């Protein structure tokens, strides 16, 4: 039974894939066995993280990128994982999904999966990693992980990727600019979407100077080729990737071709520099850590009698026991 599910997925059956993804999200015991089986078939997909604040047009951009990949001379199979950690209750990304459905529905080589948060943060990261693994094994060439929001969770999830896109839009205030300094440091490619809006030039300028702060080696930029920015007075090095800023208008597709080219160049750079393997290792190590934490905490918790646990919580509320004293009591 287990074997046949894995085989169905590996042979590209959509329905089997859809059913199995639900099991993976629910973390069913059977799904773990099948994931184990599929794992050995992974390591081929190019995983691309797309993150940025709400309202930057990420969903539309992801759509446009997918359309480009499908229309290429050698069309790629594309899986999209849309993660929305800010909707712990109602599930999210509803509007984004509707836009997606209109453009991409009916293409058998595109698969879209939306995921809202399922309780714990660790759980979401684990489920995302597992979904990516399934798509990789199922032969999708590209797995796009789109995260809504720009908090730590989104950063962590984006880091699952080989290539991380940070999407910005014009009209961000000073407050936002300050916040983004950290996020820029994880960008392999910076996308200024909605580049037709007023203030786009200002935002581009601000992003450039912030990118200078984030990557201090490359202080001065000049335009090069298709929107690529490389340090002035320095030859382009194959060892070092300078995150380019690319301007796009996702509603009409302007700049999306250049973006797709830059993503390809980044993959090439990763492979040639040995960075691809380093990121694979980092990613698998993070996955192992998450799985290990979840497992040992669950096992530990199962061994504690509910009565003892509740008693300790009551004493915490009464302030007769401190949290550390409670942990010590539980460890004994």
Of 10-18, 106-114, 253-261, 280-288, which segment contacts its own copies by CB under 8 A?
280-288
- CA atoms of 329 and 50, how far apart (whole Å): 44
Minimum distance, C-beta of residue 122 to its own copies, in the bound complex (Å): 8
Minimum distance, C-beta of residue 292 to its own copies, in the bound complex (Å): 5
Angle at 90 between CA 88 and CA 94, to 5 degrees: 110
276: left (phi over 0), alpha (psi -120 to 50) or beta: alpha
Angle at 126 between CA 120 and CA 127, to 5 degrees: 90
CB nearer its own copies, residue 25 or residue 84: 84
Residues 133-172 close enough to bind its own copies by CB under 8 A: 148-156, 172
> Which of 134, 137, 128 minimizes the C-alpha distance to 49?
128
Asked whether position 7 contacts its own copies by CB under 8 A, the answer is no
Which tokens is 328 given?
A: 């010590």
Among 107, 121, 224, 258, binds its own copies (CB under 8 A): 121
Among 18, 94, 197, 236, binds its own copies (CB under 8 A): 94
End-to-end CA distance of the chain: 42
Minimum distance, C-beta of residue 178 to its own copies, in the bound complex (Å): 5
Residues 238-277 close enough to bind its own copies by CB under 8 A: 277
CA 42 to chain CA mean position, Å: 17
Residues 47-66 close enough to bind its own copies by CB under 8 A: 53-55, 57, 59
CB atoms within 10 A of CB 264: 13
| Residue 300-319 contact track with its own copies, rule CB under 8 A, x = bound | x-----------xx--xx-x
Among 101, 197, 236, 288, binds its own copies (CB under 8 A): 288
Minimum distance, C-beta of residue 189 to its own copies, in the bound complex (Å): 18
Residues 178-237 close enough to bind its own copies by CB under 8 A: 178-183, 185, 213-214
Q: What Å distances lie between residue 93 and 6, 83, 86, 120, 146, CA to CA?
A: 29, 8, 10, 19, 10
């Amino acid at each position: 039974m287990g074997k046949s599910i894995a085989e169905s997925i590996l042979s590209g059956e959509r329905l089997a894939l859809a059913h199995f993804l639900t099991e993976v999200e629910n973390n069913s015991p059977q799904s773990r066995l099948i994931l184990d089986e599929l794992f050995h078939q992974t390591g081929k997909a190019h995983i691309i993280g797309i993150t940025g604040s709400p309202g930057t047009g990420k969903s539309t951009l992801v759509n446009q990128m997918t359309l480009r990949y499908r229309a290429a001379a050698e069309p790629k199979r594309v899986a999209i994982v849309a993660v929305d950690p800010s909707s712990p209750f109602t599930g999210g990304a509803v509007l984004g999904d509707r836009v997606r459905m209109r453009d991409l529905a009916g293409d058998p080589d595109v698969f879209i999966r939306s995921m809202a948060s399922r309780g714990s943060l660790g759980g979401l990261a684990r489920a995302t990693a597992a979904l990516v693994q399934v798509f990789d094994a199922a032969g999708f060439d590209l797995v796009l992980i789109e995260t809504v929001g720009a908090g730590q969770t989104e950063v962590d999830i984006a880091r699952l990727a080989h290539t991380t896109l940070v999407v910005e839009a014009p009209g961000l205030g000073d407050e936002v600019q300050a916040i983004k300094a950290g996020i820029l440091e994880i960008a392999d490619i910076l996308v200024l979407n909605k580049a037709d809006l007023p203030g786009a030039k200002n935002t581009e300028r601000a992003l450039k100077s912030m990118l200078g702060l984030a990557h201090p080696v490359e202080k001065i930029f000049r335009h090069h080729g298709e929107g690529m920015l490389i340090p002035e007075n320095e030859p382009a090095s194959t060892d070092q990737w300078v995150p380019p800023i690319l301007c796009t208008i996702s509603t009409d597709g302007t700049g999306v071709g250049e973006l797709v080219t830059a993503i390809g160049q980044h993959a090439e750079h990763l492979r040639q520099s040995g960075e691809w393997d380093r990121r694979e290792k980092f990613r698998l190590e993070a996955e192992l850590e998450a799985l290990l934490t979840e497992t040992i905490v669950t096992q530990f918790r199962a061994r504690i009698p509910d009565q003892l646990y509740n008693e300790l919580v009551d004493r915490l509320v009464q302030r007769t026991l401190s949290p550390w004293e409670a942990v010590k009591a539980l460890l004994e």
